[in-house]
Amino acid sequence: MKRINIKKEVKKIKDKTLETKEKIKKTTKKVKEVVKINHKKIVQQALLLFLLPFGIILSFGYLAWIYIFKK
């Protein structure tokens, strides 16, 4: 039977867990950056879609106002 050196095995496991923790940190940073970018785009689109109808209504109202008072 092979003799297992427990200290070496424990060290290997610790090294692997440290590597995986570092990988997880890197991926979470990347995900957070992507989420920030997407959040900004979503907010911009929502504001555009929310404010666009008001702009259209105001422009038609302005044109109607001019049309009424030119007569």
Cα distance between residue 50 and residue 54, in whole Å: 8
Q: How many domains does the chain contain in total?
A: 1
Give tens-digit pLDDT for 7-24.
888 888 888 998 998 989
Q: Report the predicted TM-score, pTM, of the whole model to 2 decimal places.
A: 0.44
SS3 3: coil
Domain that holds residue 17: 1-71
Cα distance between residue 4 and residue 7, in whole Å: 9
Give tens-digit pLDDT for 15-60.
899 899 898 988 888 888 888 877 888 888 888 888 888 888 999 9
Q: What are the CB-based long-range contacts (under 8 Å, 24+) for 18-26?
A: none
